[in-house]
Homo-oligomer: A and B are copies of this chain.
């Protein structure tokens, strides 16, 4: 990251400020618009407008691509120029002293290191072996050239992706960077930085590991070689860390009393450079010093397209992170100065900026909150301030680089480490997060571990997918339960959670709190079984089995069918009844299956030994209050469920549905001759009242016999066909799978 970062910084700055909007919205324009409300155009005006239209629109488009056409001609020199100059100078100084934005730099750096490790640039004939490059000579010139090429190619690709995201209007994916995800990710990033800087503080050489677990290998090797630590570098580093942390603590405690924070990093750097130069630490103690900083600028170079395929995953992560950072900072000022940010246009702007930068050996552009804050607080008004601050950085690099050459690298590394405290402190968020929301805590931990193990780019993608998966799982495994009435009200609550909640006689109410789609259809079915207490298909099959046996017994004269049901012939010993064994239909096909019409009361004692689960209900209400969408698998499966229950004389009703559900069901061919819209009710209570009404009118007998008579009066006689043949179309989802097996 060092190689690509230095030379490109001023341009990255520039490209940032080209993207940025003027800090203050222009009240002049707004007022003008407010003063001239649009009047309806006359015919003549319309004709004129048509002529001007194409030219005007072209200019509008040009302005939207190049906002400078909008603001520069309207620049108020007297009002804004001085503010802009002051602000530009301040911002430039801060930028020089603070350097680039850490997270994106780290992500770019890890790509660069993994694609152009030191091992690729060993000079032939030097004493290098595969395992040890410490003493080997490295062709730093071609290495750095290759690294710059990789960084700029990456920038170019990031730009392309950002433009694509913007054009496809999917700026919303930035929202997938959830709060816990960002927490875990930044902590992992801090850990990566710590490890990479630790070996510099110790001045211990390790291999450049890359790929999975590289940071762990680096850490292990650093400790294995801890015997080779350079004491001069270690002392300088530890001192720097100590001083920086103490002064930062002071800055923090007395921030209301001191006008500006003490720039301890600058002071330490200057002092350390002086000491190193005076004491000649390099020669006397073999300390690792900065030595040479490359100066000047590289000529424009086209990106290396052949590298694209290797860096696509990393580019994806970087494109999102860089953009997310910039927009989050932008929103602070958008709220403060009351203008709106168009997320997708920002994506396009950043994209073109990065595509352009990529051709000039530049680094991915994003935003630094600290510098933006400085520019705003010092009164910067327009991008002119940005140009000035970029100029300052440019001068610093060209002029000041030389002076820093005797500085120990361990001091620079220590300055970085001293700034990591805040990021590591985030670890203490995890226990609180765990108490508040276990899933969010898991996202935090998963993203952190994945980013450490897989690297920042793949780790971020893994965390992002994990976060989305938790959403799917939370939708897939919702809460559900049988509901009952709170007496005297029209309120229905979960039976398990409340005392004195009463389930209406013969009615079960299931609330399944989730949209229903392919992944939770099984869940709906099993929650149904558990709520009603039986399996509708099983009951139907068992009833069929019992019917066949009863028919056999009637044929043998052991039973008699009357209009009130079946009675066993007197004097027949019950022990002689058929056992609950498979009737072996295949080998006994002479028993006709549709000969005698029998009415059976399934809730009474049957004269055959078949274990038929009791069906204590006549109605089932599904509370669809939380079913916000259905997919086609769900529509078909619910239709199947209704028919399965109808077969055993249980009516299914739907309540509290969302309005758009009906049209979804209509499109899904849900309604037919038997399933009509009269099974939908506005509320659960309406459905219960309707059912109660139906029951009262259909039968005024004693409630115990009510169900029995209902069974007997059932309009659709049970057909004597086996349920669930392999070619039965009832289970749609299974059907699809079986297509694969045929």
Contact = CB atoms under 8 A, between A and B. Distances in A.
Interface of A: 24, 27, 30-31, 34, 101, 103, 172, 175-180, 182-183, 186, 321, 324-329, 331-332, 335-336, 338, 366-370, 373, 379, 423, 433, 435-437, 439-440, 465, 467-469, 471-472, 474-476, 478-479, 491, 493-494, 497, 513-515, 517-522, 537-538, 541-542, 579-582, 586, 611, 625-626, 628-629, 631-633, 635, 656, 658-660, 664, 667-669, 682-683, 722-726, 731-742
B27 A178 contact: no
A217 B24 CA distance: 56
B581 A514 contact: no
A740 B631 contact: no
A170 B470 CA distance: 14
B741 A328 contact: yes
A88 B723 CA distance: 26
A31 to B, nearest CB: 7
Contacts of A521: 175
Contacts of A513: 628, 658
B658 A379 contact: no
15 contacts: A175-B521, A321-B740, A335-B537, A336-B726, A368-B741, A369-B738, A369-B741, A370-B742, A436-B635, A437-B631, A437-B635, A437-B668, A471-B471, A514-B628, A625-B625
Nearest to A478: B628
Contact of A328 (B517, B660, B738): B738
A328 B471 contact: no
A468 B467 contact: no
Contacts of A735: 179
Nearest to A738: B328
Contacts of A625: 625-626, 656
B472 A468 contact: yes
A279 to B, nearest CB: 35
Contact of A632 (B175, B437, B478, B725): B437
Contacts of A467: 518
B626 A581 contact: no
Contact of A436 (B335, B626, B667): B667
Contact of A329 (B182, B439, B660, B741): B741
Given A336-B724, A625-B626, A626-B626, A479 B328 contact: no
A27 B582 CA distance: 8
Contacts of A329: 738, 741
Contacts of A667: 435-437
B668 A436 contact: yes
A735 B176 CA distance: 14
Contacts of A582: 24, 27
A659 B494 contact: yes
B328 A518 contact: no
B579 A739 contact: no
A734 B343 CA distance: 14
Query: Which 7 A-B residue pairings sit nearest by Cβ, starting from the closest?
Result: A328-B737, A178-B518, A182-B736, A369-B741, A179-B736, A325-B741, A335-B724
A324 B737 contact: yes
A17 B177 CA distance: 48
Most buried by B among A331, A659, A683, A740: A740
A491 B686 CA distance: 11
Contacts of A475: 471, 475, 515, 628
A474 to B, nearest CB: 5
Given A175-B518, A178-B519, 11 more contacts: A31-B579, A172-B522, A179-B735, A325-B741, A367-B741, A433-B632, A440-B632, A465-B465, A468-B519, A475-B628, A626-B628
A375 B737 CA distance: 20
Contacts of A335: 537, 723-724
Nearest to A725: B336
A633 B338 CA distance: 24
Contacts of A723: 335
B580 A741 contact: no
Contacts of A633: 178-180, 440
A586 B379 contact: yes
A541 B338 contact: yes
Most buried by B among A24, A27, A519: A519
